[in-house]
Amino acid sequence: MEIGRELRVARITAGKRQCDVARVIGTSTAQVSRIERGKVIAARYGHLARFAAAVGLKPSLRFYPAGRRLMDGPQVELIGKVRAKTHSSGRWETEVPMPIAADLRAADARLSLAGCTIVIEVFSRLADFQAQSRASLIKKRDLQADRLILAVAGTSTNRRALAEALAVRQASFPLGTKALSCALGEGRDPGADGIRLL
């Protein structure tokens, strides 16, 4: 369903009708509609790739761990730093599974404060900020959290990656380290999503 939704949005954005896409990829308009609504039980990757190309997208195949991924040493250390500077009234959970059947993803941590639930995703290294932040935002949505904080190691490489993604970062994560530290230290809702360098 998620793939179908992305294809539909891209088709509409490109100003194309379902029949236009169907003609380009060699299928029926009804089949295009089924794909967009997530009603196709099994679709070949090549077919979806042609659909994606027809609406201006480049497909990507993702893999998820077969079991719950445990945080590595640097991630545990970063979570510890966030936790140490958070008001004692907060309730912490780590490795929080998604409430979706057969979904193997887990959020690194969830912090519950008075009237606010915060998903915290920890990154010792930013490899692809857009992909990593998008995956984190989807976890926030699926866990129905109020806020998302990306806890990022304050290395020069990570600072450079954040500077390069400034426009994207500011739109989705308006709060910085100082504002987040203040809110968490006081045990209150920060009011928006943000990135905390540690």
Q: Is the pLDDT at 112 greater than 90, yes or no? A: yes
| pLDDT tens-digit map of 43-89 | 788 888 999 999 998 888 776 555 555 557 788 888 999 999 999 99
pLDDT the model gives residue 167: 81
Single-letter code of the amino acid located at 20: D
pTM of the model: 0.66
Q: Is the dihedral of CA 129, 135, 138, 140 positive or negative?
A: negative
| pLDDT tens-digit map of 137-171 | 999 999 999 999 999 999 999 999 999 888 878 88
Q: State the Rg of the chain over Cα.
A: 20
CATH classification code of 2-54: 1.10.260.40
Confidence of residue 40 (pLDDT cuts 50, 70, 90): confident
Contact 114, 141 (CB under 8 A): no
pLDDT the model gives residue 43: 78
pLDDT the model gives residue 137: 95
pLDDT the model gives residue 46: 86
Residues of the chain with CATH 3.40.1350: 73-197
pLDDT the model gives residue 76: 85
Please tell me the distance from the alpha carbon of residue 111 to that of residue 97, in angstroms, as a whole number. 14
More confident residue, 40 or 122: 122
* Eight-class DSSP state of 175: B
Domain 73-197 has CATH 3.40.1350: yes
Of 137, 121, 125, the C-alpha closest to 196 is 121
- Bridge-based pairing of strands 194-197 and 147-152 is parallel
